[in-house]
Amino acid sequence: MEEKANTWGYVSDAEMLGIRLNDEHCVPPLIKTQKEKHLESSDDRFKRRAIGYWPDTSPTVNIRSLNRRHPTEEGLTPQNRFRRWHLSVTLLCEQSWCEMKMVLGLLKPLVKQNEMKNPEVKAGTTIHLKRQLEVHDIVPIQAHTREDREAIKLLNVMSMMSLLEEGQCVREFPVLGVLEGMFFLGVIDELSYSTEGELVLSELKTRKENSLPGKAQAKGHDLQVGLYKLLFDGMVNGTVKRSDIIRHLKLQPKRVLGTAVLNHAGSMGIEEATFGGLADLVLKRLSSSKVGTIQHLKLEYIHQDSGTTIDRRYVRCEEDVLRGELRDYLAFWRGQREPRGVDIEEAWKCRLCPFQQSCQWGKDSAAAGAAEACVNVDPDSK
């Protein structure tokens, strides 16, 4: 049976929208004298206002060089070809939907940007922004370098770890780390505590239809929260190394941070002047924290038109299975296999894809489906 779905089931990811959510199940109750402060680089703030979501921070793909490949590019892995020295969790969720759609989106970023202007995307953005502004203020910080921008994320981690230790809930928590040899970045919508005192990861998804997503979309949602758990648990377990951050994000550890970043760090009692020094401090803070690993993964689905909660679904994380899926996805990036499109059973996805006319995989699947239908025709029915 064909799944009735929109392809933006993952659009509410805070990694794309830079949004927080509020959950009435935060325990203990939040009693604040002022709104929580969340830092945001001036560069990201401008981009979010301009296009309504947070773009991936990887370098822009040169379309001409990809369409007309130079002989020296032959044999390059997709990771090198697309200059993806690290991956975002959101991109991997797109890959789980359809690898061919993800690849074509990298080759033709303007098409993807136009798709992001979909009314459903804008509606989801509005819901997230409304929730975000209810619970905290955004503090813009002038960032001049990549080290400044990454330092802002680390300062947010520092402040939010203190709140978690006090039993409060936090939103838009940056996560990073190495999984199966690949460096990942992500942003968790919310971390809060259950009535039993267990740490719960919550992810908000907005829906055009007043119904839960089908199996295909739910697969990407489950993958997303599972990867977030692995990354966060690695951070508090001390498995994230400064060398990984420096190498994969191509940062200069001895670079002195900008004045605005240093001033805010000073207001937090942090006197480290270089990115490397700040990274060391934050990683030490994480590994010595009283905050444990994540015990529960929760997905909350909101109807876009009414704003009501459709349902809340808990996800079971089986780490061995999750890592097996991750290794299969990473095999593409490492050039160990060709990109895959959807199976015939999910060919309905192609009708929702902006690359339908240019995707050879989709055309081949449609032809195969038609041929199979002809073979299965009952001659007595004519």
- Give the pLDDT confidence of 194-226 residue by residue, as tens digits: 999 999 999 999 888 888 888 888 999 999 999
pLDDT at 70: 40
Mean pLDDT along residues 350-372: 73
Smallest CA-to-CA distance from 22 within 102, 114, 162, 128 is with 128
Mean pLDDT along residues 50-63: 37
Q: pLDDT tens digits, residue range 271-289?
A: 999 999 999 999 999 999 9
Q: How far is CA 162 from CA 5, 24, 155, 289, in A?
A: 40, 21, 11, 9
Under 8 Å between Cβ of 4 and 209:
yes
- The CB-side HSE value for 115 (13 A sphere, CA atoms) comes to 18
Mean pLDDT along residues 92-96: 94
pTM of this structure: 0.81
Residue 296 confidence class, pLDDT cut points 50, 70, 90: very high
Residue 144 confidence class, pLDDT cut points 50, 70, 90: very high
SS3 call for 253: coil
How confident is the prediction for the chain on average, in pLDDT? 80
Q: Which of 45-49, 61-65, 103-107 has the highest mean pLDDT?
A: 103-107
Paired tokens of 235: 């951070």
β-pairing, 182-193 vs 87-88, is: parallel
| 175 exposure class (CB count in 10 Å sphere: 0-12, 13-18, 19+) | buried
Mean pLDDT along residues 118-139: 75
Strand segments (E) across 208-358: 296-303, 309-315
Sign for the CA dihedral angle at 62, 68, 72, 76 comes to positive
Mean pLDDT along residues 279-303: 95
- Cα separation, 311 vs 309, in Å, equals 6
